[in-house]
Amino acid sequence: MALIVAPLSHVPAVLAGRKPSHVLTLLGPEAEGPVCGGVRHLSLRFNDITFPMEGLTPPTADTVRAILAFGDEWKLAATGAPLLVHCFAGISRSTAAAYILACAFSPPGREQGLARALRAASPSATPNGLMIAFADGMLAREGRMVTAVQALGRGVFSAEGVPFDLVFD
């Protein structure tokens, strides 16, 4: 299986070139999202923060539940078309969601390998730790997802990530 991860600025090109069946948008509450006609589209609105900050909206357990449910919908559709996950920069929220879905679709014990695959695919990936912590609990991974992402550390600095595929089986 493969998930496409991209920043917002690359969404039109990815839609045209890769033709995903599902698009997961993870943007701030005030951001303008892409037009994704003809595909199943879920837009979740929250800021890329890992602890409460006045005036900002953090990801919640419900955010992660919605990501997991949307991933299940894509997997059950079994069209063979990819799922595109994007956020504003393609570095934190989208890489967290892609890692969460890869873990959800893989047996327990593969968390470190999936984190290494994420880093190999995207040197700038810095998954949102709060999203990962919620998912770790929901998927009963006993801290392995959190530990694996913490071991990655901060990715190389970049204002915007480059589209990539996170491939797993």
Domain count, the chain: 1
Bridge partners of residue 3, in order along the sequence: 83, 166
Distance of CA 67 to the CA centre of its chain: 8
CATH number at residue 67: 3.90.190.10
- What is the per-residue pLDDT for 2? 86
Question: Could you tell me the CA-to-CA distances from 14 to 20, 94, 128, 157 in Å, in that order?
Answer: 8, 15, 23, 23
On whether residue 165 sits in a domain, the answer given is: no
68, part of any domain: yes
pLDDT tens digits along 99-143: 999 999 999 999 999 999 999 999 999 999 999 999 999 999 999
Q: pLDDT by residue (tens digit) across 14-49? A: 999 999 999 999 999 999 999 998 899 999 999 999
Model pLDDT, residue 33: 94
Look at residue 139 and give its three-state secondary structure: coil
Model confidence at 163, pLDDT cuts 50, 70, 90, reads very high
Phi-psi region of 78 (alpha: psi -120 to 50; beta: other; left: phi over 0): left
Which residue segment(s) compose the domain that 26 sits in?
Answer: 2-153
